Structure 1
Amino acid sequence: MPTVEVTDLKDGDFLLDVRENDEWQAGHAAGALHIPLSEFVARYGELTDAAPQDGRVHVICRSGGRSAQVTMYLVQQGVDAVNVDGGMQVWAAAGRPVVDGKGEPGHVL
């Protein structure tokens, strides 16, 4: 499984958050695209519209399990995708910014 550490992510890297709506509203990485795992296949077109054509998709969830499923699916579709190891828990612990649904400081559920 292709994996990347939170500390290896750079500002501007494309981030896909696959957590559910309540988790997203509580706190997420600013600029991430949100498509919950439960809706992912139906909303796949949103990813293809938003993702950079020649860039990598960094997939994140709370701890890495759901994002691993989506990463494997994307790789099977020929997408350059990697799972963000440790997910939003590690993101927040590393001091990366987390915002809520209103753009205010958030927290990881």
Structure 2
Amino acid sequence: MAVSGIPSSLFELQALERDYLMPTYARAPVEFVRGEGCRLWDSDGNEYLDLLAGISVVQIGHCHPALLEAVTTQAERLMHATNLFYTGPAMRLAERLSASSLGGKVFFTNSG
């Protein structure tokens, strides 16, 4: 293990996975450490074209400057608020999205 407490090799990451994660699916033996646009770089400096960016919200690309600025600005105010309470941005986004949805209503969720 590296001095900082962060694993320093893929072998160490695989050992941590084996010891502490439920085996829900097999992982490719690659550690990504950086992303920009549609490209990823692994811990050995190899560059990859990210063809799996549809997972989660990464379809807009990795580390886009405008997105980083917006996320940083928001994180400085409020990182997260459950939908059990009101937030103005969520209600205004619901209004905008509903204008183009068939049912006229939306449901915010973090998965599926």
TM-score grouping bracket, smaller chain normalisation: under 0.3
TM-score scaled by length of structure 2: 0.24
TM-score scaled by length of structure 1: 0.25
Structure with bigger RCO (C-alpha 8 Å, 6+ apart): 1
Which of 1 and 2 has greater Rg? 2
